[in-house]
């Protein structure tokens, strides 16, 4: 009932907006993924992007929540039919099919899809340079291992699809760059090996836990999860292993993905590779207003603010949103933030320094992160980037 | 180190398979087949988290068990009193679970897809020479022993087997077939509910929209493997758990994947499942009236 009333309210707001729409500078509509505001993930980030557009571009913002995936289609249709919005943004790949259909029904309406792909001239499909972001966290992982006397890091992935090869190779590139840089600084000849596995599932935390435990058993100091729900098992394995040694903060550490996941296992997640959905949303409305909007695939690079290593401020911002939305209590926020800060302090300073150094090198184009989207290329980079 | 990881992973993976299979063994012996175990695992895993967050890990396990018992009761009423199709009712449970839990997680915790269970609300592991181990491993063995004893050495066990083999004869002998079958359906539900709670408030400390990820169906394969003997359900759970973990663990080892492609290693649990189910069971005959409604003449 609560969800239904929110939905109804959102629709009413959008209908009301029709009457005053002519006065505004422009109009942005966001259709959230299931779960809506307060998810500490894509939806909250999209909302931040929308709020920034209101602030900086003076646009009017219409937000629509969907109680289930079945609501995507009617919600998108209602927004498109109103003909009031310069661009309608859909958050998350679950909305992909509904958007493909509505984009065909309303060819003059501009759409943007976050983290998915629709092949239509009026849909801008926004993805993020996850290989560059993965390289950043790879550098942090490698140095965290070395500074703690380790020589092993891990990455647990979902199903072996092209996009995941890109994460894996990016991570390896970051590890290799950081190890070389470390040896250059210290005049050493250290090596770090990368354990990896494709678990074959995005929804099985048990597989993630088993794989991560095996990696920790082989001496991995840091494990990066790129496996959706399976990755929750990676967090669980890392936290349990650390707690088993009587620790309240890592190492061992896990690394989160997609959004600032640091809060999920406070104290045991060093950093997350964040897709900046907020910047994706902002980019969509900005391009729709200045006439540069084009359909097709757009990859937002690190230099364009497409990906980033998570920061304390980012996690805190989301928690503020979640507290405001009633999804979290202030006490929950305080506990989680303390853990997030503790984890970051337990990560060696050199790891942060080199992460930032690599960040500037990628931004300036001095370091180009290799990209692999097929098995042969991935295999090539595996052997080239290995220090063994 | 790899061997130790493997043993621990296999033992923990065994628990949900064996506990679920043990309950279902008794139910099938009594004549009620429930293929909705996957759905019961999922719903119970969800309610167990709510229970644990309200009253601690033990409350979580109990809420999971009771949720499972209730769902088993519903399946039993449909199968026994309404003489409904047991397959349809089971499939219904599986579909129901996917919807209920997806919406339930959003409604309860405001986040789509998952919720992590805080350390304070989860079952604490025991320290063993092998490493941290869940106390539920012991409970699993005890449940298998209890169920075996109940089936083989009690009056109720005899009645259960009679209801599965020849309900008409049992009825003529004064056994209340409906009641015995209801007991079986509820027993299977309760144990499956406990297994679901183990997933969410013990092993994985997480609830997701599809937490069991097929373990309810592997449990059904374990039932077939066991020839309806609870002790063999322990063995079956260990075999399935072992090969599932073996694929994953072997694929993390660079030394091993250099020799054998990891795709091949990850294929092994499925191959083993096929071999085990096809080969080992041989000519086993399940109870004559299992899965069929009993209609009094």
Answer with the one of A105, A128, A151 that is the final residue of a domain. Answer: A128
Is cis: bond before A252, omega within 30 of 0? yes
pLDDT above 90 covers a percentage of chain A that reads 74
How many other CB atoms are found less than 10 A from the CB of residue A67?
A: 18
Residues A74 and A168 in one domain: no
At A185, is the pLDDT very low, low, confident or very high (cuts 50, 70, 90)? very high
Alpha-carbon gap, residue A64 to A78, rounded angstroms = 10
Residue B253 located in a structural domain: no
Assess if residue B246 is contained within a domain: no
> In this predicted structure, what is the pLDDT of residue B282?
62
> Which among B211, B214, B251 has CB closest to A197?
B251
Query: Is residue A168 domain-resident?
Result: yes
- What is the reported pLDDT for B260? 77
Are A42 and A168 in a shared domain? no
Tell me if B238 is assigned to some domain: no
CB-CB neighbours of B268 under 10 Å: 15
A343 and A249 Cβ atoms separated by less than 8 Å = yes
Its domain, for residue B119, covers 15-212
Q: Which chain B residue has the Cα nearest residue A326?
A: B110
Q: Which residues of A216-250 are buried (b: 16+ CB within 10 A; e: fewer)?
A: bbbbbbbbbbbbbbbbbbbbbbbbbbbbeeeeebb
Tell me what the pLDDT averaged over chain B comes to: 91
Helices (H) and strands (E) in chain B, counts: 12, 4
Rg, Å, chain B Cα set: 19
Query: Does residue A232 share a domain with residue A113?
Result: no
CATH number of the domain to which A255 belongs: 3.40.50.2300
| Domain interval for residue A225 | 130-274+308-385
Q: Is the pLDDT of residue A23 over 70?
A: no
How close does chain A come to B103, measured CA to CA in Å?
8
Q: Is residue B281 part of a domain?
A: no
The answer on A135 and A90 residing in a single domain is no
pLDDT at residue B5, rounded to an integer: 86
Number of domains within chain A: 2
Degrees (nearest 5) of the Cα angle B99, B22, B218?
50
A101 plus A140 within the same structural domain: no
Residues recorded for chain B: 297
A114 and A240 belong to one structural domain: no
Which of A128, A159, A187 delimits the end of a domain?
A128
Q: For residue A5, what pLDDT is reported? A: 53
Q: How far B171 CA lies from chain A's nearest CA (Å)?
A: 45
Q: Identify whether the C-beta of residue A117 lies closer than 8 Å to the C-beta of residue A157.
A: no
Decide if A198 is inside a domain.
Answer: yes
- Gap between the terminal Cα atoms of chain B: 62
- Asked whether residue A34 is domain-assigned, the answer is yes
pLDDT tens for each residue of B118-172: 889 999 999 888 888 999 999 999 999 999 999 999 999 999 999 999 999 999 9
A316 and A262 belong to one structural domain: yes
Whether chain B has a CB inside 8 Å of the CB on A34: the answer is: yes
In this predicted structure, the answer to whether residue A206 has a pLDDT above a threshold of 50 is yes
The model's pLDDT over A212-223, given as tens digits with 9 standing for 90+, comes to 999 999 999 999
Dist. CA A230–CA A205, nearest whole Å: 4
Q: Any idea which of B62-66, B102-106, B187-191 has the lowest mean pLDDT? A: B102-106
- Give yes or no for a contact between B48 and B63, defined as CB atoms under 8 angstroms apart: yes
B64 closest CA partner among B11, B12, B16: B16
Cis peptide bond N-terminal to A200, omega within 30: no
Note whether residue A294 is domain-resident.
no
Select the more confidently predicted residue: B84 or B278. Answer: B84
Instruction: Please indicate, yes or no, if residue B257 is contained in any of the structural domains.
Output: no
A128, A153, A177: which is the final residue of a domain?
A128
Residues A193 and A70 in one domain: no
Same domain as A193, residue A337: yes
Closest listed residue to residue A385, CA positions, set A365, A364, A373, A371? A371
Give the pLDDT confidence of A250-276 residue by residue, as tens digits.
899 999 998 899 999 999 999 999 999
Q: Tens digit of pLDDT for each residue in A70-113?
A: 889 999 999 999 999 999 999 988 899 999 999 999 999 999 99
Same domain, A208 and A267: yes
Provide the ipTM: 0.91
B294 contacts B167 by C-beta, under 8 angstroms: yes
Mean pLDDT along residues A343-350 = 96
Report strand pairing: B206-208 vs B114-116: antiparallel
What residues 155-184 of chain B have any CB closer than 8 A to a CB of chain A?
none
Question: CB contacts < 8 Å between A and B, how many?
Answer: 131
Residue A78 lies in a domain: yes
Structure tokens at A257: 């993905």
Name the domain count of chain B: 1
- First vs last Cα of chain A: how many Å apart? 58
Per-residue model confidence (pLDDT) at position B261: 76
The continuous run of DSSP H or E covering B65 comes out as helix B57-76
Question: What pLDDT does residue B112 have?
Answer: 65
Domain membership flag for residue A281: no
Distance of CA A52 to the CA centre of its chain: 19
pLDDT higher than 80, residue A46: yes
Does one domain contain both A171 and A93?
A: no
Which residues are within 8 A (CB) of B263 and not within 5 positions of it... i.e. 6 or more apart? Answer: none
3-class SS string, A19-54:
HHHHHCCCEEEEECCCCCCCCCCHHHHHHHHHHHHH
Looking at residue A224, its pLDDT comes to 97
| Residue A10 CB partners (closer than 8 Å, separation 6+) | A62, A63, A64, A65
Distances (CA, A) of B215 to B7, B117, B150, B218: 19, 20, 25, 5
Residue A17 is predicted with a pLDDT of 46
By Cβ distance, the residue of A41, A203, A240 closest to B132 is: A240
Segment B237-246 mean pLDDT: 89
Q: How confident is the model at residue B53 (pLDDT cuts 50, 70, 90)?
A: very high
pLDDT category at B283 given cuts 50, 70, 90 is: low
Question: For residue A190, is it within any domain?
Answer: yes
Q: Is the pLDDT of residue A22 over 60?
A: no
Q: Which residue has the higher pLDDT, A194 or B272?
A: A194
Distance of CA B10 to the CA centre of its chain: 15
| Whether B200 contacts B46, CB under 8 Å | yes
Distance CA B179, CA B161 (A): 13
Comparing CB atoms, the residue among A205, A239, A243 nearest residue B211 is A205
Residue A137 lies in a domain: yes
Q: Inspect the interface and report whether the beta carbons of B249 and A2 lie closer than 8 Å.
A: no
pTM: 0.89
Q: What is the pLDDT of residues B88-101, one digit of tens each?
A: 999 999 999 988 99
Asked whether residue A122 falls in the same domain as residue A253, the answer is no
- A35/B103 CB distance under 8 A: no
Which residues from chain B sit within 8 angstroms of residue A200, using beta carbons?
A: 266
DSSP string, B94-143: HHHHHHHHHHHHHHHHS-SSEEEPPGGGSPPPEEETTEEE-THHHHHHHH
């Amino acid at each position: 009932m609560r969800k239904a009333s929110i939905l109804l309210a959102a629709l009413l707001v959008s209908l009301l907006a029709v009457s005053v729409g002519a006065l505004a500078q422009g109009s942005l509509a966001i259709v959230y993924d299931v779960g809506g505001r307060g998810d500490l993930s894509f939806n909250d980030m999209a909302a931040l992007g929308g709020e920034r557009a209101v602030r900086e571009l003076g646009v009017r913002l219409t937000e629509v929540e969907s109680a289930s995936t079945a609501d995507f289609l009617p919600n998108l249709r209602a927004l498109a039919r109103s003909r009031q919005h310069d661009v309608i943004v859909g958050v998350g790949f679950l909305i992909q099919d509904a958007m493909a259909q509505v984009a065909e029904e309303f060819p003059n309406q501009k759409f943007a899809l976050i983290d998915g792909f629709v092949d239509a001239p009026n849909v801008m499909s926004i993805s993020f340079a996850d290989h560059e972001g993965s390289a950043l966290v790879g550098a942090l992982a490698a140095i965290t291992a070395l500074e703690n006397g380790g020589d092993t890091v891990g990455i647990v992935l979902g199903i072996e699809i092209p996009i995941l090869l890109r994460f894996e190779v990016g991570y390896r590139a970051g590890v290799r760059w950081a190890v070389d840089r470390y040896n250059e600084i210290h005049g050493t000849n250290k090596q770090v090996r990368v354990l990896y596995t494709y678990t074959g599932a995005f929804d099985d935390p048990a597989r993630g836990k088993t794989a991560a435990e095996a990696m920790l058993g082989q001496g991995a100091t840091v494990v990066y999860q790129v496996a959706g729900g399976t990755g929750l098992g990676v967090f669980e394995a890392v936290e349990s292993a650390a707690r088993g040694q009587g620790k309240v903060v890592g190492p061992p550490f896990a690394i989160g993905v997609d959004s600032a996941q640091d809060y999920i296992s406070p104290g045991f997640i060093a950093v997350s590779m964040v897709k900046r959905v907020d910047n994706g949303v902002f980019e969509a409305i900005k391009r729709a207003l200045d006439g540069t909007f084009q359909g097709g695939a757009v990859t937002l690079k690190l230099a364009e603010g497409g990906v980033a290593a998570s920061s304390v401020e980012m996690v805190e911002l989301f928690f503020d949103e979640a507290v405001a939305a009633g999804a979290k209590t202030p006490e929950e926020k305080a506990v989680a933030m303390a853990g997030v800060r503790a984890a970051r302090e337990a990560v060696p300073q050199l790891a942060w320094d080199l992460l930032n150094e690599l960040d500037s090198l990628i931004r300036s184009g001095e370091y180009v992160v290799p990209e692999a989207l097929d098995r042969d290329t991935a295999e090539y980079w595996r052997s080239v980037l290995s220090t063994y | 180190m790899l061997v130790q990881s493997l043993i621990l992973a296999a033992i923990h993976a065994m628990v949900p398979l064996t506990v679920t299979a043990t309950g279902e063994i008794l139910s099938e012996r009594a004549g009620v087949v429930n293929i909705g175990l996957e759905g019961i695992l999922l719903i119970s895993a969800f309610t167990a988290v709510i229970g644990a967050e309200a009253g601690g890990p033990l409350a979580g396990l109990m809420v999971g068990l009771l949720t499972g018992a209730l769902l088993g009761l519903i399946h039993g009423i449909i199968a026994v009193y309404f003489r409904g199709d047991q397959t349809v009712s089971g499939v219904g449970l599986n579909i129901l679970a996917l919807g209920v839990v997806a919406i339930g997680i959003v409604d309860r915790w405001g986040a789509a897809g998952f919720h992590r269970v805080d350390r304070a609300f989860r079952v604490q592991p025991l320290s063993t020479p092998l490493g941290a181990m869940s106390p539920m491993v012991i409970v699993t063995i005890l449940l298998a022993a209890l169920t075996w004893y109940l089936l083989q050495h009690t009056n109720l066990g005899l009645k259960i087997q009679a209801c599965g083999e020849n309900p008409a004869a049992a009825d003529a002998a004064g056994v209340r077939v409906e009641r015995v079958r209801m007991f079986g359906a509820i027993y299977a539900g309760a144990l499956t509910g406990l297994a679901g709670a183990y997933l969410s408030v013990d092993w994985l400390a997480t609830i997701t929209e599809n937490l069991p990820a097929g373990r309810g169906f592997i449990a059904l394969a374990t039932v077939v493997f066991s020839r309806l003997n609870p002790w063999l359900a322990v063995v079956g759970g260990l075999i399935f758990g072992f090969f599932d973990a073996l694929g994953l663990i072997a694929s993390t080892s660079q030394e091993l994947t250099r020799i054998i492609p990891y795709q091949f290693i990850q294929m092994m649990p499925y191959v083993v499942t096929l071999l085990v189910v096809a080969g080992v069971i041989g000519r086993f005959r399940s109870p004559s009236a299992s899965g069929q409604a009993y209609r009094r003449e």
